[in-house]
Chain A
Amino acid sequence: DAKTTQPTSMDCAEGRAANLPCNHSTISGNEYVYWYRQIHSQGPQYIIHGLKNNETNEMASLIITEDRKSSTLILPHATLRDTAVYYCIVRLTNFGNEKLTFGTGTRLTIIP
């Protein structure tokens, strides 16, 4: 699976949009981009995933560049409960029964 690069930490004001970048310049054509987050002392939580089109769900939006070498996770109106470590993961298949390789992630802190 391709490697991802994320900033170590970010701050965002409560109520503002949080934009979390991820570089995956070695991604191959059939690899998906997944985002998970981990709130302190809990298991990771799935947020969103995509292949090449932008995606949106009730939690977030995922913007993937046309060359697919980077993506941005957008939390439209950040709340204090969004403080967590966010992991961007690239995986080869879209079947669920595949292991995930976690990088260091981005520690997002929402500031009141």
Chain B
Amino acid sequence: GAVVSQHPSWVICKSGTSVKIECRSLDFQATTMFWYRQFPKQSLMLMATSNEGSKATYEQGVEKDKFLINHASLTLSTLTVTSAHPEDSSFYICSASAPGTVNTEAFFGQGTRLTVV
């Protein structure tokens, strides 16, 4: 089946620094990818929709200048957490689907655990 890969799996960074997370679709092209955030013992919350070749669409309450999304190719979307703070520590997950296909499911990356110290 289709595979979505995230990198890194985990990262620890100092407060005030920026962290980039990559999401790749390995065997299909994805015009749309989604970024979710999950705090401990909570469900996944959609942060933004990443559109290849255009600006991302952010959910209400998500700061676009803090969470920069770049979807420069059909197989790669990146999420950069800028000026990270401890409250940004979370589990970040991306998903993608093969475009234009009927009866398909979303594939998720393995997630990236970000810890800001």
Contacts and interface: CB of A to CB of B under 8 A. Distances in A.
Given A97-B97, A97-B100, 4 more contacts: A43-B4, A45-B108, A96-B98, A102-B43
Contacts, number: 63
B95 A95 contact: no
B95 A100 contact: yes
Contacts of B110: 42-43
A93 to B, nearest CB: 9
Interface of B: 4, 6, 30-32, 34, 36, 43-46, 49, 91, 93, 95, 97-111, 113
B43 A95 contact: no
Contacts of B107: 46
Contacts of B108: 43-45
B102 A94 contact: yes
A46 B105 contact: yes
From B4, B100, B106, name the one whose CB has the most chain A CB atoms within 10 angstroms: B106
Q: Is the interface of A mostly helix, strand, loop or mixed?
A: loop
A104 B105 contact: no
Contact of B34 (A38, A45, A46, A99): A99
A43 B105 contact: no
A30 interface: no
Given A102-B43, A105-B43, A97 B32 contact: yes
A104 B111 contact: no
A95 B111 contact: no
Given A41-B111, A42-B110, A102-B44, A95 B104 contact: yes
A34 B44 contact: no
A12 B35 CA distance: 32
A99 B46 contact: yes
